[in-house]
A and B are shown apart, each in its own frame.
Chain A
């Protein structure tokens, strides 16, 4: 009897020895990002932000004692690769959650896969369709494009602009933006008199600028793209001696495009997250401290300017980390924790998720900005 009891005790001890490390086990987090390829300006900063934040978390001893193991897969913006990586991460690596993909097109391809596998997905894609209709396990961090459109139209109403021309790149982002612009324009009493779509590889648009310039009704131009053509449109307009206001999408929030457009970038008006003007925010802004810290750490570590795109990655991993602190290594609990997250400051805005809103941001997440002396500044009107 005594022998059995001691054996039992030993067995219990052995089991507890085995299970104790399991409590302090690593938590696997997958990420599918376009680190290379055409969308590398999104995926590159996102991946670097994730690596930086995960290292910071692990250096502090992890979340509740568990370290994060980050598995980044480079999709090169290919939806086919995104699909196979999503399956691999869920079935083979058995990750807790997936961050990414960088683009809206890829996200839509894996939305159902993650939903069926009940694996939380926090996308860095901008399009509204990712969270509308809501899939219970799918979230996104970038601001909705409809908010950007509304913000621009509100500014136009203030400026008394009612007839506009729309230019868009033929990417998923450009098409989605063009759709929102055309859909929402009537609500604001704005008449879209010219619409043109250009190839994402376009390297000179002077002919099409001449065409829309010849329409004397046009009071302002909105260009919606995330490709270098944003800089080309600006140059071609100013070279043609055309000085109507040029509005761009939140895709313009990369100082490289300002550098590329040079003097032609001056005065471009666009909505963007506050990361770009972190220094000039008032001290009581809830985002200021984290924006400054993120910007400083990122720029010191990678020797390149922080962009709002990297910020989407930062938001995704910090939201997930907060949810893990709440729900542990359990997919369903983490999902619930994200949905219950309220007033959580990130780079893109202050997130308040709910069962209906899996983006968590409102229209105030955007701030109208302009370019002055080659730098982003808050736009305060004329």
Chain B
């Protein structure tokens, strides 16, 4: 394999990987506060891209993206307030089924608003054919946007959870909900906030990736499966694990093309998910103890 080809595969893998990691982090934020997997996470990504594309007719690109992220955050909050908050002593299974329902409803709403055709935001820099040479390989500038925005999101989330008081409250709520309530933290608001946060990062990811992958009403399901695989692979609840696992899966997928036919690309990621579930259910980076404590 030439260096050029190696770099080309690597960059493709990092691109896929960053997208998977962002979706997985969205899963983790909600998982940490509620103990459930929000299967509508992929739909947040879809809404982010679609809303920004619609808004673009009326305003410049940065504003459209910002507003789209804000609107999607509002949708996230509404979903939590309408469907999750009022449940009394909800079981995990019940909440998961609710999120699956929300994901189906979201797709139906999207197909009625935007139709079935593919749409996309324009490239942030350059156009469909511009590329930057990297060590002999050529990559689209948008790929750098995806990687940079994903990295920035991870750093910002880290700072938010470590240093701000709201972030600390969310972590408290994640590690022990009852104790957090006793300390005077409004855990219900923390749950809402977790939906808002994961909707926001999902929407931003949806905007950044839209020029590369296009946006379509049913793009969420595929993303949710990949993101879920990555979240499990990295250990549920661990953001660092999600990033590492996301990049790992992305790079494996990209390099797999050189060995097996392209058609098996998805089979590989599902096979990895199954192996992890059998061999190391707590994920590559999760601790056994933490897995044992969760409500599953």
A contact set with B: CB distance below 8 Å: 36, 40-41, 170, 196-199, 201, 203-208, 210-211, 214, 228, 231-232, 234-235, 238-241, 256, 260-265
Assess the B213–A170 pair: CB atoms within 8 A.
no
What is the CA–CA distance of A203 and B205 in the complex, to the nearest angstrom? Answer: 14
For B12, the chain A residues whose CB sits under 8 A away are: 204, 206-207, 210
Closest Cβ of chain B to A349, distance in Å, is 27
For A260, the chain B residues whose CB sits under 8 A away are: 118, 120, 214
User: A207-B254, A263-B129 are known contacts. Are A239 and B262 too (CB-CB below 8 A)?
Assistant: no
Assess the A40–B257 pair: CB atoms within 8 A.
no
For B140, the chain A residues whose CB sits under 8 A away are: 206, 235, 239
What is the CA–CA distance of A232 and B263 in the complex, to the nearest angstrom? Answer: 16
Assess the B117–A41 pair: CB atoms within 8 A.
yes
Closest Cβ of chain A to B11, distance in Å, is 8
A-B contact pairs, 11 of them (CB 8 A): A199-B265, A207-B9, A208-B257, A210-B8, A210-B9, A240-B8, A256-B118, A262-B129, A263-B129, A264-B129, A265-B128
For A228, the chain B residues whose CB sits under 8 A away are: 118, 214, 216
Closest Cβ of chain B to A45, distance in Å, is 12
What is the CA–CA distance of A260 and B120 in the complex, to the nearest angstrom? Answer: 7
Contact digits for B105-117, partner A, Cβ 8 Å, 1 yes 0 no: 0000000000011
What is the CA–CA distance of A208 and B222 in the complex, to the nearest angstrom? Answer: 19
A206, A241, A265 interface centre (most CB from chain B within 10 Å): A206
Assess the A263–B222 pair: CB atoms within 8 A.
no
User: A201-B222, A241-B138, A263-B127 are known contacts. Are A206 and B8 too (CB-CB below 8 A)?
Assistant: yes
What is the CA–CA distance of A198 and B258 in the complex, to the nearest angstrom? Answer: 14
What is the CA–CA distance of A67 and B57 in the complex, to the nearest angstrom? Answer: 44
**Extra pairs beyond A198-B263, A203-B212, A207-B8 (17, CB < 8 Å):** A40-B116, A196-B263, A199-B265, A203-B214, A203-B219, A206-B11, A206-B140, A207-B12, A207-B257, A232-B213, A234-B128, A235-B129, A238-B131, A239-B129, A239-B131, A239-B138, A261-B128
For A204, the chain B residues whose CB sits under 8 A away are: 12, 15-16, 212-213
For A256, the chain B residues whose CB sits under 8 A away are: 117-118
Range, interface on chain B: 35 or more
Assess the B262–A208 pair: CB atoms within 8 A.
yes
What is the CA–CA distance of A75 and B18 in the complex, to the nearest angstrom? Answer: 38
Assess the B262–A41 pair: CB atoms within 8 A.
no
Partner of B262, one of A40, A197, A234, A261: A197
What is the CA–CA distance of A199 and B221 in the complex, to the nearest angstrom? Answer: 14
For B4, the chain A residues whose CB sits under 8 A away are: 214
B164 close to A (CB within 8 Å): no
Assess the A211–B258 pair: CB atoms within 8 A.
yes
Closest Cβ of chain A to B251, distance in Å, is 10
Contact digits for B5-34, partner A, Cβ 8 Å, 1 yes 0 no: 100110111011000000000000000000
B67 close to A (CB within 8 Å): no
What is the CA–CA distance of A235 and B138 in the complex, to the nearest angstrom? Answer: 12
Closest Cβ of chain A to B248, distance in Å, is 15
For A240, the chain B residues whose CB sits under 8 A away are: 8, 131, 137-138
10 closest A-B pairs by beta carbon, nearest first, are: A203-B213, A210-B8, A262-B128, A238-B129, A264-B128, A207-B12, A241-B138, A207-B254, A228-B118, A239-B140
What is the CA–CA distance of A232 and B222 in the complex, to the nearest angstrom? Answer: 17
- Measured CB to CB, the nearest residue on chain A to B258 is A211
For B118, the chain A residues whose CB sits under 8 A away are: 228, 231, 256, 260
B15, B118, B219, B253 interface centre (most CB from chain A within 10 Å): B118
Closest Cβ of chain B to A217, distance in Å, is 15
Closest Cβ of chain B to A41, distance in Å, is 7
Assess the A262–B222 pair: CB atoms within 8 A.
no
What is the CA–CA distance of A238 and B214 in the complex, to the nearest angstrom? Answer: 17
State which residues 175-213 of B face A: CB under 8 Å. Answer: 212-213
B81 close to A (CB within 8 Å): no
What is the CA–CA distance of A40 and B111 in the complex, to the nearest angstrom? Answer: 12
B163 close to A (CB within 8 Å): no
Closest Cβ of chain B to A198, distance in Å, is 5
B74 close to A (CB within 8 Å): no
A199, A203, A208, A214 interface centre (most CB from chain B within 10 Å): A203
B165 close to A (CB within 8 Å): no
What is the CA–CA distance of A170 and B131 in the complex, to the nearest angstrom? Answer: 28
What is the CA–CA distance of A196 and B259 in the complex, to the nearest angstrom? Answer: 12
What is the CA–CA distance of A250 and B5 in the complex, to the nearest angstrom? Answer: 31
Assess the B13–A207 pair: CB atoms within 8 A.
yes
For B2, the chain A residues whose CB sits under 8 A away are: 214
B95 close to A (CB within 8 Å): no
What is the CA–CA distance of A211 and B16 in the complex, to the nearest angstrom? Answer: 17
User: A198-B262, A210-B8, A210-B12 are known contacts. Are A241 and B116 too (CB-CB below 8 A)?
Assistant: no
A196, A210, A234, A263 interface centre (most CB from chain B within 10 Å): A210
What is the CA–CA distance of A203 and B130 in the complex, to the nearest angstrom? Answer: 18
State which residues 212-269 of B face A: CB under 8 Å. Answer: 212-214, 216, 219, 222, 253-255, 257-258, 261-263, 265-266
Partner of B139, one of A199, A231, A239, A265: A239
Partner of A197, one of B15, B129, B263: B263
For B213, the chain A residues whose CB sits under 8 A away are: 203-204, 232
What is the CA–CA distance of A40 and B11 in the complex, to the nearest angstrom? Answer: 34
For A206, the chain B residues whose CB sits under 8 A away are: 8, 11-12, 15, 139-140
Closest Cβ of chain A to B284, distance in Å, is 23
